[in-house]
Amino acid sequence: MPARFDNTMTSKIINRRDLEFLLYEFIGVGGLIGRDRYAEHSKETFDAAIEAAHRLAEEHFAPHNRKGDDHEPTFDGSTVHIIPEVRAALEAFAASGFIAAAHDYELGGMQLPFTVLQACFAMFQGANVATSSYPLLSMAHANVLRSFGTPEQQHLFLKPMLEGRYFGTMALTEPQAGSSLSDLRSTATLASDGSYRLKGNKIFISAGEHSLSENIVHLVLARIQGAPAGVKGISLFIVPKYRVNPDGSLGEHNDVTLGGLIHKMGWRGTTSTMLNFGEQGNCAGYLVGEPHHGLRYMFHMMNEARVGVGMSAVMLAYGAYLQSLDYARTRVQGRLPSAKNPTQVPVALIEHADVRRMLLAQKACVEGGLALCLHCARLVDETQTAPDPRDREEAHLMLEVLTPIAKSWPSHWSQESISQAIQIYGGYGFTRDYPVEQSYRDNRLNPLHEGTHGIQALDLLGRKVGMQDGAALQLLMREMHRTIRDGCRCASPELAANAGALADAVTLLLETTRNLLCAADRGERDLALANASVYLEMTGHIVIAWIWLRQALVALEKLPQAQGESRDFYQGKLQACAYFFRWELPRTKHQNQLLNDMDRTCFEMEDRWY
Amino acid sequence: MPARFDNTMTSKIINRRDLEFLLYEFIGVGGLIGRDRYAEHSKETFDAAIEAAHRLAEEHFAPHNRKGDDHEPTFDGSTVHIIPEVRAALEAFAASGFIAAAHDYELGGMQLPFTVLQACFAMFQGANVATSSYPLLSMAHANVLRSFGTPEQQHLFLKPMLEGRYFGTMALTEPQAGSSLSDLRSTATLASDGSYRLKGNKIFISAGEHSLSENIVHLVLARIQGAPAGVKGISLFIVPKYRVNPDGSLGEHNDVTLGGLIHKMGWRGTTSTMLNFGEQGNCAGYLVGEPHHGLRYMFHMMNEARVGVGMSAVMLAYGAYLQSLDYARTRVQGRLPSAKNPTQVPVALIEHADVRRMLLAQKACVEGGLALCLHCARLVDETQTAPDPRDREEAHLMLEVLTPIAKSWPSHWSQESISQAIQIYGGYGFTRDYPVEQSYRDNRLNPLHEGTHGIQALDLLGRKVGMQDGAALQLLMREMHRTIRDGCRCASPELAANAGALADAVTLLLETTRNLLCAADRGERDLALANASVYLEMTGHIVIAWIWLRQALVALEKLPQAQGESRDFYQGKLQACAYFFRWELPRTKHQNQLLNDMDRTCFEMEDRWY
C-alpha cells in the first residue's frame, strides 16, 4: 500500500482508496494528462495536490469545525467578529496556492484540471464546510471575472483575489424576491465617470462582511434604469466594499453596509448577511460585460457552483459515514436476536444487521454521490480542454442535464444518510459531543441554496430534458446504454440482471419524459410540471444506479487480480451496487407511475381544503 | 361555528376542527361518557379541558419555546440554571390541575379519560415540547407509583407529585449499556432499615437536576446484590434527591449528584443529565413491588409513554405544517410555469403545485399520525374502563401491536414533514428567525429515545406480531377488514378502490409475517429479523392507510349535509386520503418484496468491505 494511503483508516474526511478508485479507475482522470494545458502534470502532481489538500484540511480546517459552530460570527455594530482559527486556516489555504490552482500559470495558477481541484476542495468541504465557503465563493467569483472582466477589472479585482488578499461574494437574492430573480429590484444608475451607482438590498449573502481580507468584492445583480422587466433586464456589477485606486491601493468605503447577520440552524461558521447597497447614494459598481446580460454571466459558472453544492453534501455525509462506521466497529452493545443469554459478552454494533443496513445505505449514498460529482467535474474539464470541439459541446450538454441531479440528489439523500449515522450513535448522536448532529444541521442548507430542490426540478423537466429537441437527454441515454451493454455482456449474472433493470428504468423514463413534454406543449404546462420534484428524484435514482453499475463493472474486472484490502474494497463496491439495485432503484417504479398518470392529487388540492 | 373554534385559523398548534373531528367523529370519545368512572363528565367538560389546555399552552408554553432553545440550562458547579419562564409555565400547569387530571377524585384528580388528557397534553407538546417534558415525566412516574407503590410510598412521593411540588424522572439508561437494559450495572444493597443503598451511573436522564420543584424523585433500575444476570435481575427503586421524613418534610441530601449536563442538537430546554447515585455510599432507594420485577413495572406504562413520544412527534410536525401553510398563503413569490410574463404580478407560494404537494404531504402525515395516536389513547381507556373484561383484554392486545408503530411512524415521518415545511420557507426556513428549524432539531430526538427505531422494529416483528400465536396481529387484521368491508360497500368508487388496495396490502403483510416468523422458528432468527426496520415501516404505512380510509369514510358520510368551511374540511380529508393511497401506500410493495425475499444484502455485508 503506498504511503499516501496511511490515513485511509484514520481519516474521517474520506476513504482515499475510494477517491483513488474514482479518479483513476472510474472516471479516468489520467486521460487528461496528455493534453496541452496539463503538459506539466502527471499522476504524481495530481496526487501531491490531493495529499496537500487532505493534510491542510485535517490540520487547519477540521480542528475548528465545532468551534466555528459553537461561536458563530457576531456583529457589535461596527465590526463582524469571527473566531481567529478561520483567518489562520484561510491564510494557510491561500499560501498553498489552491485559490488560483485551476488558473493559468501566468496568473499565478497551477493549470490543475477542474476535476482534481474539485477532489482537493472536497477535503476542505468535508473538514469544515463553513470555513471552506470563503474560498469557494472567491474562487467562483474569480472564474466570472476571468471569463468576463475587462483587463482593468481583472487587474484591480481578480489579481488580488487569486492572491488571497481580496475575498469575493455572489449577491443575487433580495428579500422580497427569494428564488424569483425575475423580481429583483436593485438599481444601477450611470454616473458621469462611466461607472454606476447601485442602490438596493440583498439577503443571504454568504461571506458578505468580515475582516478576513483586505477587501470584499461583491458580484451584484441589478437593473440599469430603464431596463426591460424580468430576467432579461438584469445586469452584473462588480461592487467592492472599499473602492480601489488605479494603483491598486484602497480608496474610500463604498457605501456597502451590513444590515444584519442571519442566524442559521447550521453552516454557522459562514457569515450570512443582509447588505444594503448605496444607502448614501455613493455605492460605485462596475458593469461586467454588456448591459442586461448579467444573468448569463452569473449562470455561466452555475453548473460548477451547483456541482460544488452537491459535492459539499456528499462530503458532509461522507464524514458522517466514516465516523459512524468507526463508532459501530468500536462500540460494544447488545446481542444478536439468536443469542440473548445475558452472560454472553455483548457484540460490536456493526454485528447488528440493522446497523449494517444503515452503514451500507450510507456507503451507497456517499460513494455514489461522490462518483457522480466527480463525473460532472470531469465533464467541466471536457468542456474546456477536449481536443475535438464536438466533444466539448457534448460534454456541455451532458453537464446541462446532469447538473440539477448532481446538485439535488446528494443534497437530499445526504440528509437521510447523515440521519442514519446519527441513528447508529443512538442517543449520543443527538448530543453535541459527537460530530454527526452538526453535519445534519449543516447539510440541511443544501436542498435550499443555489436553487432549491423544487427549482432544480423545474430546471430539469422544464428546461434541460427538452432543450435542443431533447439532445442532452439523448446523450445521457447513449452513455447509459453503453454501460447497459457492458453489463449485459459481463461475467456476472447479477450485474447483467442489474443492467436489464436499468434498461427497463431508462425505457420508462424516456416514455414518461416524452409524455410530459407533449402535455406541456399542448397547453398543459402547469399540470405537466406539477410533479417535477418526483421527476427529479426518479431521474436522480436512475442516474445513480447507472453510476453504481459502472463502478461495479470496474470492480468486477479488477477483482480476480486483487488481494487483501484491495479485494475487500472491490467486494464492497459490488455489495453497494447490489444494495442500490435491490433496495433503491425499485422506488422509481411508483414514481414513474405517478408521473405517467400525471397525477392530479396535489395539483387539484384547493387552498381552502387544507 | 361555536366560539371555541375562534382560534382555528390563528393557532399554530393545532387545527381545532380536526381535533374535534378525530375525537368525536373518528374515535368516538363520546362513547366513554356513559361509563361509571366518567359519570360526571360530558362533551362540555371534555371540551372545557381541551380549551383550557390550548389557552394555557399558547399563553405560558409557546412564548418561551425559542428562548428555551437559545438559552439551554447551564450548570455552574452547584446549581442548574433554567430560564424563569419554565418555572412560571409549570406553576400555571400545576395550578390548572392537569398533572392529576386522570387520577381519582380522592387523589385530587378529575377522572378525565386518558384520551382527553392526551389531547390536552398534545397542546403543550405542540407549544413547547421541551418544557412539556417536565410534567410528562412526572405524570408517567406518578402512574407507576399509583399502580405499584405502597400506601406509604404513595403518601410520601405520589401525593406531592400530583400536587406539582415534586417532579419525577425515569432513570434507566447507563453509559456503557445504551439500549441494552440487560447490561445495566447499577447496584442496590439492602440496608438495616429495610431500604436499599444504590450505587451507579445513569445517562440521558431528562429533568434529572433543576430547582423547579421542592424535590426530584427518580425511578431507578438497579440490581440487588446476587440478582440473576440480564433483565430478569433488575429491580425498580424510588430514589429521591432529598430524603423525605415520615411527616413529609425534607431530610438530608440523598447522595444523588449531577455528573454533568448533556448538550443536544434540539429539545434543549429540557435538562438532560448524567447522574451519579451513591458516590458517598449514602444513597437510599426504596424498592417498588417485588425484587427482580423492575422492568415489568417500568414497562407497564411503556405503551402510554411510547404513544406519548409519537404524539410529541405529531405535534412538532403539526405546528410546522400550520406555520408553513400560513407562510405559503401570505408570501407572494414567483409565477406559474404557464405565465412567465415578468410584468404580471407574482402569486402566493400556495399557488405553486410543488408547494401544494409539500403541504398535502404534511397534512396527510400530521392528521394521520394524530388520528393513530388518539386511537391508541382510546385503547388505553378501553384497557381501563371497558365494561366487558374481554374488551379490555382485546384493547390491551391491540395496544401491544400498535404501540411500536404509534411511537415510530410519527417520529420518522414527522421529520420528513417538518423538512417540507422548511423547504416551503426556502432560505428563511433555515434561519432561526422562523420556528420550523427548531421543530426539525427537536423532533430528531424522537426516533432515538424511548427505544430507537430499530428497537421498535425488533419489538414489533420479534415479539408483538408473534405473541399469543399471533393474536394481536389477528385482532388488528379484524379491525382493518371491518374498515375494508365498509369501504367496499360505500358510495365512492375511489374509496372502494382504496379499500381493495388496503386489502391487498394486508394480505401481503400477513403472508410475509407468517414467512418471517416461520423462518425465525426454524432457526433463522437473525436473518428473519435482519430487515425488521423495513417491516416496521411497511406495517406503519399500512396502518396509516387504514386510519386514512376510516377518516375518509366518515368524511364521505358527512359531506352531503356539510356546508361552507365544514364542507371544505371534509373535502380536505378526502383529498389527504387520496394522497396517501396514491402516493404513499404503493411504497409498501417493494418493502414487502424485500421482506418476503428475506433479502440478504445488508445481512451478508462484511465489516471489512465497508
What tens digit of pLDDT does each residue of B477-514 get?
A: 999 999 999 999 999 999 999 999 999 999 999 999 99
Nearest CA to B295 out of B191, B205, B181 is that of B181
B245 and B316 co-located in one domain = no
Q: Are A8 and A16 in contact (CB under 8 A)?
A: yes
Catalytic option among B20, B72, B367, B450: B450
Distance (Å) from the C-alpha of residue A554 to the closest C-alpha of chain B? Answer: 16
Give me B407's grid cell: 411511537
What nine digits make up the cell of B20? 374535534
**Strand boundaries in B140-234, DSSP class E:** 166-171, 187-190, 196-206, 215-224
SS3 of B23-45: HHHHCCHHHHCCCHHHCCCCHHH
B306 and B233 in one domain? no
Contact between chains at B431 and A230 (C-beta distance less than 8 A): no
Express each pLDDT in B280-309 by its tens digit: 999 999 999 999 999 999 988 888 889 999
pLDDT over 50 (residue B525): yes
For residues B292 and B229, the answer to whether their CB atoms sit within 8 Å is: no
Give me the CATH number covering residue A393: 1.20.140.10
C-alpha cell, A159: 489579481
Domain tally, chain B: 3
Distance CA A470, CA A517 (A): 10
Short-list A249, A272, A245, CA closest to A261: A272
The per-residue pLDDT for range B566-584, each reduced to its tens digit, is 999 999 999 999 999 999 9
Indicate whether A125 and A163 sit together in one domain. Answer: yes
What grid cell was written down for B185? 450495572
What cell does A145 get? Answer: 471575472
User: Does B481 lie in the same domain as B429?
Assistant: no
Q: Do A533 and B354 touch (CB under 8 A)?
A: yes
Nearest chain B residue to A262 by CA: give it.
B431
Q: Are residues A184 and A198 in the same domain?
A: yes
User: pLDDT tens, A33-90?
Assistant: 999 999 999 999 999 999 999 999 999 999 999 999 999 999 999 999 999 999 999 9
Yes or no, beta carbons of B357 and A333 under 8 Å apart: no
Indicate which CATH number applies to the domain containing B125: 2.40.110.20
Provide the pLDDT confidence category of residue B10 given band limits of 50, 70 and 90.
low
Chain A contacts of B603, Cβ < 8 Å? 353, 356
Task: Write down the residue that cell numbers 415510530 correspond to.
Answer: B408
Name the residue among A334, A423, A569 with its Cβ closest to that of B453: A423
Mutate which of B357, B531, B541 to disrupt the A interface (most A C-beta within 10 Å)?
B357
Lookup result for grid cell 470584499: A216
Residues B447 and B318 in one domain: yes
Helices (H), A57-128: 65-70, 84-96, 114-127
In a domain, B523, yes or no: yes
Using an 8 Å CB-CB cutoff, list chain A residues near B532: 354
Closest CA to B115 of B364, B307, B313: B307
Which of B182, B265, B603 is closest, CB to CB, to A353?
A: B603
Residues in chain B closer than 8 A to A594 (CB atoms) = 582-583
Task: Give the mutation candidate from A574, A601, A604, A608 for the B interface (greatest B CB count, under 10 A).
Answer: A601
Are A526 and B336 a contacting pair at CB < 8 A?
yes
User: In chain A, whose CA is at the least distance from the CA of B232?
Assistant: A342
CB B198, CB B239: distance < 8 Å: yes
A599 vs B582: CB contact, 8 Å cut-off?
yes
Rounded CA gap, B392 and A107, in Å?
81
- pLDDT of B458: 97
Contacts 24+ apart (CB under 8 A), A559-568: A565/A1, A565/A17, A565/B608, A566/A17, A568/B606, A568/B608, A568/B609
Cβ <8 Å between A452 and B572:
no
Instruction: Note whether B131 and B89 are within 8 A (CB).
Output: yes
> A518-535: per-residue pLDDT in tens?
999 999 999 999 999 999
Amino acid (one-letter) located at B411: S
pLDDT digits (tens, 9 = 90+) for A418-433: 999 999 999 999 999 9
Nearest to A447 among B423, B565, B599 (CB): B423
Q: What single-letter amino acid sits at B29?
A: V
Q: How far apart are CA B150 and CA B146, in angstroms?
A: 9
The question of whether B72 is a catalytic residue gets the answer no
Asked if the Cβ–Cβ distance from B529 to A265 is below 8 Å, we say no
Does residue A610 lie within any of the structural domains? Answer: no
> Do B425 and B356 share a structural domain?
yes
pLDDT surpassing 70 at residue B390 = yes
Domain end position, chosen among B451, B484, B507: B451
Helix, strand and coil in chain A, % to nearest 5: 60, 10, 25
* CA torsion angle A533 A539 A545 A551 (round to 10): -110
Question: How close does chain B come to A325, measured CA to CA in Å?
Answer: 8
CB nearest to A354's CB, from B353, B533, B606:
B533
Distances (CA, A) of A366 to A1, A66, A315, A360, B609: 24, 22, 8, 10, 15
Q: Could you list the residue range(s) of the whole structural domain that residue B128 is in?
A: 3-299
Rounded-to-integer distance, Cα B457 and Cα B535, Å: 7
Does pLDDT of B3 surpass 80?
no
Share of chain B above pLDDT 90, in %: 96
What integer pLDDT is reported at residue A300 of this predicted model?
82
Dist CA B483 CA B499 (whole Å): 8
Which among B178, B333, B430 has CB closest to A448? B430
Given an 8 Å threshold on Cβ–Cβ distance, is B433 in contact with A262? yes
Please answer whether residues A338 and A307 qualify as being in contact, where contact means their C-beta atoms are separated by less than 8 angstroms. Answer: no
For cell 471536457, what's the residue? Answer: A382
Contact A583, A357 (CB under 8 A): no
Interface probe with B: pick from A204, A598, A602, A603, most Cβ of B within 10 Å? A602
Buried b (16+ CB within 10 A) or exposed e, A121-146: bbbbbbbbbbbbbbbbbbbbbbbbbb
Q: Do A526 and B337 touch (CB under 8 A)?
A: yes
Handedness of CA B134, B140, B144, B145 (dihedral sign): positive
B132 and B52 within one domain? yes
Q: Please give the Cα distance from B528 to A354 (Å, whole number).
A: 12
In this complex, the residue of B423, B526, B579 whose CB is nearest that of residue A338 is: B526
- Radius of gyration for the alpha carbons in chain A, expressed in angstroms and rounded: 25
Please name the residues in contact with B142: beta carbons below 8 A apart, sequence gap of 6 or more: B99, B100, B103, B158, B161, B162, B168
Q: How far apart are CA B219 and CA B167, in angstroms?
A: 11
What is the spatial distance between Cα A356 and Cα A340, in angstroms, rounded to a whole number? Answer: 19
Q: For residue A576, is it within any domain?
A: yes
A608 in any annotated domain: no
Q: Both B7 and B34 in a single domain? A: yes
Task: Name chain A contacts of B447, Cβ cutoff 8 Å.
Answer: 423
Nearest-Å Rg of the Cα atoms of chain B is: 25
Q: Which residues are B198's β-sheet partners?
A: B188
- Helices within B34-174 (DSSP H only): 43-56, 65-70, 84-96, 114-127, 129-148, 151-153, 159-162
CB contact under 8 A, A350 and B607: yes
The answer to whether residue B385 sits within a structural domain is: yes
Interchain CB distance below 8 Å, A346 and B183: yes
Give, to the nearest 10 degrees, the angle between helix A84-96 and helix A43-56.
Answer: 170
Query: Does residue B610 lie in a domain region?
Result: no
In a domain, B150, yes or no: yes
Model confidence at B328, pLDDT cuts 50, 70, 90, reads very high
Instruction: Provide the pairing of β-strand A272-277 with A256-261.
Output: antiparallel
Q: Which three cell numbers stand for residue A209?
A: 462582511
- B532-558 vs A353-385: helix crossing angle, rounded to 10: 90
Contact B594/A602, CB-based, under 8 Å?
no
Q: How many CA atoms lie within 13 A of A135 on its CB side?
A: 33
Reference B317, options B468, B125, B61; nearest CA is: B125
| B95–chain A nearest CA distance, Å | 33
Q: For residue B449, give the nearest of A427, A462, A533 by CB distance.
A: A427
The burial class, CB within 10 Å (0-12 / 13-18 / 19+), for A387 is exposed
State the residue for C-alpha cell 430528531: B444
Alpha-carbon distance A226 to nearest alpha carbon in chain B (angstroms): 14
- Is residue B554 domain-shared with residue B540, that is, in the same domain? yes
| Residue B280: how many other CB atoms lie within 10 Å | 10
Helices B389-425 + B353-385 axis angle, to 10: 160
Residue numbers of A annotated as active site: 450
- Do B275 and B338 lie in one domain? The reply is no
Distance from CA of B571 to the nearest CA of A (A): 6
Phi, psi dihedrals of residue A113, rounded to the nearest 5°: -60, 150
- Does residue A210 sit in the same domain as residue A183? yes
End residue of a domain, out of A283, A299, A315: A299
What is the pLDDT, as a whole number, of residue A1?
A: 33
Q: What is the pLDDT of residue B179?
A: 87
Say what the pLDDT of residue A267 is: 98
> Looking at residue A430, what is its pLDDT?
98
CB A592 within 8 A of CB B596: no
Spans of chain A, pLDDT less than 70:
1-10
Does A379 reside within a domain?
yes
Q: Which residues of B touch A452 (CB under 8 A)?
A: 423, 426
From A450, A468, A493, give the residue that closes a domain: A450
**Residue B477: partners with Cβ closer than 8 Å, 6 or more residues away:** B506, B510
